């Protein structure tokens, strides 16, 4: 990824890559969980993935960065098959943020961001620390660099997790219900941070129950049910004019 610095704000701008999922199927043992999912995300755009619990949203994200290997189909990152990229390299090119932040409890915020820079990117201690500090400052946590996760709010912990993913300079970011575990008053700040990444050019796939965010920020919304994409399109089309009975029912339950 090429990055450049906007001098007035000192915020990175991103050059996100395209992401294409082609006829992906995934299974747990004999149980087919994804039944041929295809979707296409243009560089620098945000796709929100919505759907009932158990519809395969998390499995899809885990297939994209190969935390779980697909049974068939392909994922193209910047036009190149992700299945041919070594998994640890792939996971530095595709950042992922989870519902339960997954920070190392015994490390400070700064160390949490710096660790993978040392182990995956092979940076020196000083280099990793310098880059980690900048990423923490970008998510508004410069003052909290020396705090351990337990001394941070849920929202702050999630910002650390986002800073940690961004520090790898990914081409795509995947979010799996990143705000679902947060107290209501902390949700907005994290969503605002995510919307800012999108404005700065990141390519994002966001699994979310925040329908307001999906409507406001998404370039595309994908509705999944029972392991397949049922409808995909512009937020206004999906939310205001759902075509399928399944999406109509889902929206009547969540809106
Ligand atoms: P969602 O994120 O949309 O709630 P998931 O992708 O987590 O859905 O799950 C899709 C289906 O796969 C569900 O039926 C779930 O029970 C099943 N599943 C998810 N993870 C596993 C697993 N590790 N082992 C077996 N089944 C799983
Ligand atoms: Mg899930």
How far is ligand 1, taken at its centre, from the CA of residue 48, in Å? 19
Dist CA 151 CA 153 (whole Å) = 7
Query: Which residue among 25, 26, 33, 69 has the greatest number of ligand 1 atoms within 8 angstroms of its CB, and so is best to mutate?
Result: 33
In-domain check, residue 151: no
Domain membership flag for residue 107: no
**Ligand 1 proximity of 56 Cβ (cutoff 6 Å):** yes
- What distance in Å separates the CA atoms of residue 15 and residue 11, rounded to the nearest whole number? 13
Number of domains in the chain: 1
Closest-lying ligand 1 atom to the alpha carbon of residue 207: 2
Residue pLDDT tens, the chain, 255 long:
445 544 444 577 898 999 999 999 999 999 999 999 999 999 999 999 999 999 999 999 999 999 999 999 999 999 999 999 999 899 999 999 999 999 999 999 999 999 999 998 999 999 999 999 999 999 999 999 999 999 999 999 999 999 999 999 999 999 999 999 999 999 999 999 999 999 999 999 999 999 999 999 999 999 999 999 999 999 999 999 999 999 999 999 998
The verdict on residue 241 lying in a domain is yes
For residue 116, tell me if it sits in a domain. Answer: no
28 close to ligand 1 (CB < 6 Angstrom): yes
- CATH code for position 182: 3.40.50.300
Question: For residue 183, what pLDDT is reported?
Answer: 95
Residue 12 is predicted with a pLDDT of 77
**Is the CB of 62 inside a 6 Å radius of any atom of ligand 1?**
no
| Domain region containing 87 | 15-102+173-254
pLDDT of residue 10: 58
What's the pLDDT score for residue 223?
A: 98
Residue with the nearest Cα to atom 1 of ligand 1? 54
| Dihedral of the alpha carbons of 123, 12, 10, 110, in degrees to the nearest 10 | -40
Q: How many CB atoms lie within 10 A of CB 89?
A: 11
pTM of structure: 0.95
197 part of a folded domain: yes
Mutate to test the pocket of ligand 1, among 24, 37, 56, 61 (most ligand atoms within 8 A of CB): 56
Q: Which atom of ligand 1 is nearest to the CA of 177?
A: 2
Considering the domain boundaries, does residue 3 fall inside one?
no
Cα of 247 from ligand 1 centre, angstroms: 20
- The complex's ipTM works out to 0.98
Q: Report residue 122: phi and psi, to 5°.
A: 65, 30
- Work out which ligand 1 atom sits closest to the CA atom of 53: 4
The rounded Å distance from CA 51 to ligand 2 centre is 9
């Amino acid at each position: 990824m090429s990055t450049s610095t906007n001098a007035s704000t000192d915020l990175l701008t991103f050059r996100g890559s395209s992401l294409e999922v082609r006829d992906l199927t995934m299974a747990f043992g004999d149980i087919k969980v994804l039944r041929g999912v295809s979707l296409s995300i243009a560089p620098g755009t945000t796709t929100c993935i919505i759907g009932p619990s158990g519809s395969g949203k998390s499995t899809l994200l885990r297939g994209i960065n190969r935390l779980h290997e697909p049974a068939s189909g392909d994922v193209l990152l910047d036009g190149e098959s992700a299945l041919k990229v070594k998994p640890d390299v792939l996971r530095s090119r595709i950042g992922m943020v989870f519902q339960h932040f997954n920070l190392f409890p015994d490390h400070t915020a700064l160390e949490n961001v710096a660790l993978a820079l040392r182990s995956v990117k092979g940076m020196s201690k000083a280099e990793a620390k310098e880059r980690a500090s900048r990423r923490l400052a970008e998510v508004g946590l410069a003052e909290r660099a020396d705090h351990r996760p337990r001394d941070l709010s849920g929202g702050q912990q999630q910002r650390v997790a986002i800073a940690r993913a961004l520090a790898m300079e990914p081409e795509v970011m995947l979010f799996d219900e990143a705000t679902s575990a947060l107290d209501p008053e902390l949700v907005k700040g994290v969503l605002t941070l995510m919307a800012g990444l999108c404005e700065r050019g990141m390519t994002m796939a966001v699994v979310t129950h925040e329908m307001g965010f999906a409507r406001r920020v998404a370039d595309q919304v994908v509705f999944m049910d029972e392991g397949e994409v049922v409808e995909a399109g512009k937020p206004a089309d999906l939310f205001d004019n759902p075509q399928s009975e399944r999406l109509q029912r889902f929206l009547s339950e969540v809106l």
